[in-house]
Amino acid sequence: MKKNKILTFVLCLGMMASFSACESLDQAPQDYFGSGNFWKDQPQASGYMVGLHAYLRGTYSSWFVMGELRNGLLGDGDDGMGTSVMGESLDNQNIIKQDLTADKAGMDNWNGLYSEIVRVNLAIQEISKTSVLTEAQKNLYLGQAYGIRAYYYYLLYTTWGGVPLVTDVAITEGQVSAERLKRPRAKASEIMNLLKQDITESEKAYGAYGADGFSNKYTWSKYATLMLKANIYAWAATVTTDDQKATGNADLQTAKAALQEVINSNKFALTPSFVQTFRTDAKSTTKEMILAVPYNKTDNAYMPYISHCVAQEALLTAAYDKDGKHVALDNDSYGNRTLTGGLVRYQYKETLWKAYDADDTRRDATFFVVCNNPAAPKTGSNFGILLKKFSGTYYPDEGTHRFDCDGPIFRYAEALLLMAEIENDLGGDPTPYLNKVRERAYGNTAHNFANQGKYQNTLNILGELDKEFVFEGKRWFALQRMTDQAGKALVFNADVNYLFIPGGAKKPILSEAEAYKTLWPISIRTHTNDASIQQNPGYEEFK
């Protein structure tokens, strides 16, 4: 998880500025971002926006931490022992099993997101008043900045509910003490209002710009704003958080309109082959990514956490595949060597793998099954899953494996499945959107779903999301949006939970008595740094 540390901000112009940390919110930069430093001409302003996108990449691990760890797909070794098939201890088992307390909170100081918000706040202030940019440049950059700030607050809101509301830049003006940064949590409704306001400001700026701002998948565009808008309004419509009550169909209609604009743009499409969506040799040809962060050897930046889902080479070659054959290595750039170079600290559940049909191409593009004893039943501790999706590239000429797949934030498959979810919630037919994803997975229409009624449609949509978005952190949020026949969130539904141990008794990810755990606890360290920050209801209060 992100911890307080000295940060370095390198602009594309080669300028470097460092700033020290204070323990309030998450980090308190000294004034290297003051208005006199980076806003003297157009290249400096543009460089600052490049820097904001670099920090967007730096926060990508939030999807794994805030979403993937809690979504019910990761396991404990399938035998209850918390040990991988390779014999390593599995990490973050308390989070995976929803055992959360203030001293086992998983994240300190808002996972570092306020330092990014501070940077965006300064951009909004300086872009609005600068004379070194044209009006078109101002509108483009404001569209990006408001969208990025809403993105960070969306992660904060869906994780903790009401959080400190920071839209000013006073915290970067001069040598600011930690005392000036301390502020209590805002109401959940105030954060939701900010989310909607920032989305509106981003859309207005793109409207004034006169174009969608989509130059490449690595830069925030109008379509990233629309995807975020759909997520925010779908959440607002269906999820009650503290004083922010679920708003219902009006916000669902708003979310639907945002997705329709993305779909109707004809700028995006499903990659014909699922595996090609993530391979590095298809980065320049796939049209599926609406917004992604780049990982590559040029920047020496690689996808976080994926190395903890693959094996040590010696252990892998001593293991057997699902057909009982010794795992062999070759020099294929996308072969088994991409499964080496790490320790198995996270292992997906056997019950998840078995939920895939054998002819669903996503199964073997996503997972690689290994076992230790080919003669024994392939289950429990003799059944392990390495993550093939996002496992990167082996470079034979270098003899090096790199985790250099791009990190998707929004992709077209999400637009389709979220549209299916919303259409279903509104009483419509979700299958035109749902089946496009399913047809890509199977390569034909033989497995298409019929419109089967609202609840069964919900289960079908969630099942596709489960198989489509492994390691992308989306399921945890969907489980709170989607509901059963009684209107209860599926996070409380045993039917959609994959068992830790095959054959065990069904139970939900959270019981209804644990409903408070849909929000994460505030860590002891966060409260120690700022005593005005109070605990979320349901957890033991700070003393």
Establish if 9 belongs to a structural domain.
no
Q: Which amino acid is at 484?
A: D
Q: Is the distance from CB of 51 to CB of 74 less than 8 angstroms?
A: no
Establish if 543 belongs to a structural domain.
no
In the chain, % helix, strand, coil (3-state, to 5) comes to 45, 10, 45
Among 238, 267, 296, residue at a domain's last position: 267
Among 211, 245, 267, residue at a domain's last position: 267
Among 250, 267, 284, residue at a domain's last position: 267
> Are 433 and 311 in the same domain?
yes
> Are 251 and 292 in the same domain?
no
Closest CA to 237 of 395, 374, 418, 442: 418
The encoded tokens of residue 361 equal: 């191409």
pLDDT on residue 177: 40
Q: Is the distance from CB of 127 to CB of 43 less than 8 angstroms?
A: no
What residues make up the domain containing 58? 42-71+108-267
Domain tally, the chain: 2
Helical (H) or strand (E) element with 320: strand 320-321
Closest CA to 168 of 125, 131, 216: 125
Q: Supply the pTM of this predicted model.
A: 0.93
Q: How far apart are CA 389 and CA 341, in angstroms?
A: 15
Q: Is the distance from CB of 241 to CB of 157 less than 8 angstroms?
A: yes
Establish if 540 belongs to a structural domain.
no
Q: 75-78: which pairs have CB atoms within 8 A and are 24 or more residues apart? A: 75/347, 75/348, 75/349, 75/350, 75/352, 75/500, 76/500, 77/347, 77/381, 77/384, 78/347, 78/349, 78/350, 78/379, 78/380, 78/381, 78/383, 78/384, 78/500, 78/501, 78/502
Q: Whose structure tokens read 């958080």?
A: 241
Residue 55's CB is within 10 A of a number of other CB atoms, namely 17
Establish if 434 belongs to a structural domain.
yes
> Are 361 and 404 in the same domain?
yes
> Are 274 and 318 in the same domain?
yes
Q: Is the distance from CB of 163 to CB of 186 less than 8 angstroms?
A: yes
> Are 175 and 281 in the same domain?
no
> Are 336 and 459 in the same domain?
yes
Establish if 156 belongs to a structural domain.
yes
The encoded tokens of residue 208 equal: 């004034």
In the predicted model, residues of the chain with pLDDT beneath 50 are: 1-33, 172-177
Q: How far apart are CA 255 and CA 206, in angstroms?
A: 18
Q: How far apart are CA 20 and CA 29, in angstroms?
A: 6
pLDDT on residue 7: 29
> Are 86 and 63 in the same domain?
no
> Are 291 and 209 in the same domain?
no
> Are 65 and 123 in the same domain?
yes
> Are 181 and 292 in the same domain?
no
pLDDT on residue 178: 53
For 178, the 3-state DSSP assignment is helix
For 98, the 3-state DSSP assignment is coil
> Are 421 and 435 in the same domain?
yes
Give the CATH number for residue 326.
1.25.40.390
Q: Is the distance from CB of 481 to CB of 61 less than 8 angstroms?
A: no
> Are 258 and 366 in the same domain?
no
Give residues with Cβ within 8 angstroms of 533, minimum separation 6.
164, 184, 185, 522, 526, 527
Q: Give the single-character DSSP code of 28.
A: -
pLDDT on residue 248: 97
Q: How far apart are CA 258 and CA 37, in angstroms?
A: 37
Establish if 1 belongs to a structural domain.
no
Closest CA to 483 of 509, 511, 459: 459
Q: How far apart are CA 449 and CA 334, in angstroms?
A: 32
Q: How far apart are CA 418 and CA 456, in angstroms?
A: 16
Q: How far apart are CA 261 and CA 191, in angstroms?
A: 25
Establish if 29 belongs to a structural domain.
no
Establish if 4 belongs to a structural domain.
no
Q: How far apart are CA 519 and CA 489, in angstroms?
A: 14
The encoded tokens of residue 467 equal: 């198989």
Radius of gyration of the chain from Cα atoms? 23
